[in-house]
Amino acid sequence: MLNENLKTGLTFDDVLLIPQASDVTPRDIDISTQLTSSIKLNIPLLSAAMDTVTDSRMAIAIAREGGLGIIHKNMSIEG
């Protein structure tokens, strides 16, 4: 029942790319992902909610590129 909605997910360790010639151009590639039913990311990138990883500047930079920066809980709302 619950597993019917799960899709296959891969991480870096699951994939091996072998360099070779290709007819696929960068314009033909879509790396977007549906994070939730109402949130689509243009790049499949989420940052860690850690004070040493994501501050407001990092979250904004990731968002501008199409990803999602997760702000850590101890960050002030002033940034």
pLDDT string in tens for the chain (79-residue length): 566 777 788 888 999 989 999 999 989 999 999 999 999 999 999 999 998 889 999 999 999 999 999 998 888 877 5
User: Among 54, 56, 62, 49, which residue's Cα sits nearest to residue 76?
Assistant: 56
Query: What are the residue ranges spanned by the domains of the chain?
Result: 24-79
Buried b (16+ CB within 10 A) or exposed e, 12-34: eeeeeeeeeeeeeeeeeeeeebe
The pLDDT of residue 21 is: 93
The pLDDT of residue 79 is: 57
